[in-house]
Structure 1
Amino acid sequence: MPRFTVNELSQYPPCPLRIIFAPPNDPDAGTVPDILALYRLYSLPGAFVSESLRDVAISFGTTNVDEGPRYTWFHFLYKSLPITDMNGVKRIKNQIQARRKGDQPEDFGWVHSAYCLIENGSSEVTLIIFNSEPLLYERFRTISEHTPYEETMKDPYCLLNVVFEILYERIDMLTWTIANVFTQEEMKILHMARDPELNGGDVDLPEIHMIQRHQIYLREAIESITVTLDATIDHQQRLNEGSTSISPSHNATQAGLRYRKVLIKSTDLRLRSMGKRTQNTINMAFNLVTQADSRVIKEDSGSMKKTAILTMIFLSCTAVAYTIKNGERPRKTNEKGFMGSDAQVEAFSEASFKFIDDKYK
């Protein structure tokens, strides 16, 4: 990919179609001057800049002016999914453990990209992409090699159709990745449920929590891209209201956008189904842990019962042995007529002997 500074870009003569891949629009100290210069060069709307600073999850904006360029923009935000492979088992990285090991913090961050389409009449179209997906550059390069730019100029929104295609592929890939991780945990818990001898304490509840957490993040991304896609379809339709003839390029773009919407809906249904399965798995995991705890309590209860029986047996034997050792003694009472401690023991011994005599005579 050729690299240019904004100053070099401003010196190029105007061209009908230009696609600019810019760095993330939440710049660091090294990219602030170029980002600001790019904002000024193309006079990007203040709302677009404000949304970039706020990392909005859902955004679609346009400027409808009679004179000057027309801007159409949106933002996209999703959570990265760090995966680690442990002896052939894929797991979601634990952020706390990863920090202790010195892993890169961006593995656990959010990925924010922004797209701004600038139409200067019908003679000049510019698409600025901030923090692009790597596959998007390859896709546009392939299109430029096989499709004349005049076809793109007939309906510039076909560029956004390509963007939505790549964003869908990213979301779908993340969904399949987390589905594979979840399936491993689901099968492990089902195996525990079939074998009562397995210890329910081996259930990895933090891993299941991380899976459900990233499912929620993906649902947010899917809902946001669906809203943005609907807004794009409606906006393109409004642009052609009142037109006596609609170009085939417009119809092709509309069909492509609606097709992306159906694919995203398919991924959303798969993610919803996975969410229900995850909840069922969590319930089963808690039941397994509860059963394991119940078995431990039952074993402890049996041990206490045995201890109580042994105590009763040996206590009686001790009393009998004490009586036999000391023999018969006359009863002694205190001044109030009550037997003292020795008298109590002797009385208990006599009662024990009497019980034994009556029982076995």
Structure 2
Amino acid sequence: MSWSSLPLASVYDALSQQPRFGGPNDDSKRAATFNTLDVWELTSSSWTRRACHPNDLHPSTTRIILAPYPNPDSAKILSALLTKLHIPSDFAAERPRSVTHSIGSRELPDGTVTVWFHTLSKNIQKKGEQSNLVTSVVTRIRRQGQSKRDLSPPVPGTDETWARSGYCLSVMPGSRCPTLVCFGATKDVVERLEVFRGVCEKGSRVEREVLAEPLALLDLVVEGAFGYVDERVWRMCDRVYPIEKRVLLDACQVPAAAKSQRNSFALLHNCSKQITHLRETVEGFLLLINDLSEIVGTRNPSPDDTDGEIRKLLLDNLRHRRSLFNNLRLRLTSLQRRVDNSVGLEFNLVTLQDSATMRRDASSMKIIAAITMIFLPTTAVASIVGSQIFTTVFNEQSGSWDVQISPLFKVLWAVAGPLTVMVVAMSAGWNTLMESRSRRRLSQDT
């Protein structure tokens, strides 16, 4: 589509922008330094692996290219790769937007067929692992002059890294040999492609099926991506289980539960957040598989697949991949419910602790009130007698003490009595007013 194509300068700008997710990696720096990419090619004898520039790619050969994900280091060589393979500029335009799910297909007038998609997944590291990516990002920020105070410590159990990948399958005109370009492929995808390389030989049945239906290579990518996401989901399960167990043990110790319960709320919230990210990844792959199946079903049949048998096999494989990701979605749903149950139990435990504390405080207040009531008459008599209202005079004739009452004694009761009645009346009136307002508000709400 000529109207949606971007000029070469705009493509380079899109590839050179800083990624929203992730950070610099060694593959990008190596590609920028040596100006080469990791290329696997199927020759007449076997698969060969070499490092070459995009302009040095051999025509008419099945190949897999492992390229770094676009960033300022690798933008120049990746721009040359997109130009060499006639990859649409839409692939580069999606990159700075960091989309979670996208898939596109294009068949140009010259016969070039291209299918591409992007994936985004939250990393869940094993307990005790340290992220090199986080370390490199922190180092880079500090080198740019940002204060160390601005780098807040991470929340326990938090992994701030993401796996961002892009895959593009291209079949050049005049050649039935596909080229699969993997931008920032995960380890599981690379391992699955290595297995494919071991069984795909020149003239073998596997090669004939791939030449008849090149989109089968994208099925391998989806299979490898499932292994990556499945491992992260199990790691999330391993992270939730000890927190869940600790909450249950605390529940057995009520009312004297552990004092570290409130720290569990942060961990449980973080687990819930990461489960949400994983669920978003699984939902994205399900949409991706649905769209890929639609692309496979609507493409023109290949001359080598006259009966459509290979296409049927590919659609069956994609249907199986869909069921696997549905299984991950069910597991994440169950895991989210376990986290919600733990949060509810933790909240109830904290409520019980607070209630026990309030009961202890109420008992203390009752004791204080009882002591006050016991000594209140004595205190009142001592206050009145010790004032200037009562005076004592020693009578030398009788040799005794005489008590004289001041005229202010009548004034004391004349003032204190009405004040006491007024305070009690104001308190009762205020309580009545508040209760009437509360009843009126409830009646309006209902």
TM-score by length of 2: 0.66
CA distance in 1, matches of 2:287, 2:88: 21
Deviations 1:171-195 (A, max 9, x none): 1111111111112111211222232
CA distance in 2, matches of 1:214, 1:170: 15
Query: Which residue of structure 2 lines up, in the alignment, with residue 21 of structure 1?
Result: 66
CA distance in 1, matches of 2:411, 2:117: 96
CA distance in 2, matches of 1:329, 1:339: 18
Q: Secondary structure at the match of 1:156?
A: coil
Q: 1:296 aligns with which of 357, 369, 380?
A: 357
Query: Which residue of structure 2 lines up, in the alignment, with residue 358 of structure 1?
Result: none
Instruction: Confirm whether residue 338 of structure 1 aligns to residue 410 of structure 2.
Output: yes
Deviations 1:132-180 (A, max 9, x none): 1123223222222222333321211111111001111111111111111
- What amino acid does structure 1 have at the position aligned with 2:111? G
Question: Which shifted more, 302-311 or 244-253?
Answer: 244-253
Query: Which residue of structure 1 lines up, in the alignment, with residue 375 of structure 2?
Result: 314
Equivalent residues of 2:101, 2:284 under 8 A apart? yes
Aligned length: 328
Instruction: Confirm whether residue 285 of structure 1 aligns to residue 310 of structure 2.
Output: no
CA distance in 1, matches of 2:239, 2:149: 18
Instruction: Tell me: CA distance 1:134–1:98, structure 2 relative to 1, closer, same or farther (3 Å).
Output: farther
> How far is 1:311 from its partner?
1.9
Equivalent residues of 1:73, 1:115 under 8 A apart? yes
- What amino acid does structure 1 have at the position aligned with 2:93? S
Instruction: Confirm whether residue 53 of structure 1 aligns to residue 96 of structure 2.
Output: yes
Deviations 1:340-360 (A, max 9, x none): 59xx9xxxxxxxxxxxxxxxx
Q: 2:334 aligns with which of 273, 279, 292?
A: 273
CA distance in 2, matches of 1:14, 1:276: 53
Q: 2:245 aligns with which of 173, 179, 187?
A: 187
Query: Which residue of structure 2 lines up, in the alignment, with residue 35 of structure 1?
Result: 78
- What amino acid does structure 2 have at the position aligned with 1:332? S
CA distance in 1, matches of 2:98, 2:221: 19
Instruction: Tell me: CA distance 1:304–1:69, structure 2 relative to 1, closer, same or farther (3 Å).
Output: same
- What amino acid does structure 2 have at the position aligned with 1:135? D
Query: Which residue of structure 1 lines up, in the alignment, with residue 281 of structure 2?
Result: 221
Equivalent residues of 2:85, 2:172 under 8 A apart? no
> How far is 1:99 from its partner?
5.0
User: Structure 1 unaligned runs (5+)?
Assistant: 87-94, 345-361
Q: 2:307 aligns with which of 246, 250, 253?
A: 246
TM-score by length of 1: 0.80
> How far is 1:197 from its partner?
3.2
Equivalent residues of 1:201, 1:289 under 8 A apart? no
CA distance in 1, matches of 2:319, 2:237: 26
CA distance in 1, matches of 2:102, 2:189: 20
Question: Which shifted more, 205-214 or 5-14?
Answer: 5-14
Aligned residues with identical type, % of pairs: 25
CA distance in 1, matches of 2:101, 2:319: 19
User: Structure 2 unaligned runs (5+)?
Assistant: 1-26, 38-51, 130-137, 139-147, 202-206, 387-391, 393-400, 417-446
> How far is 1:201 from its partner?
4.5
Structure scoring higher RCO (CA < 8 A, sep ≥ 6) equals 1
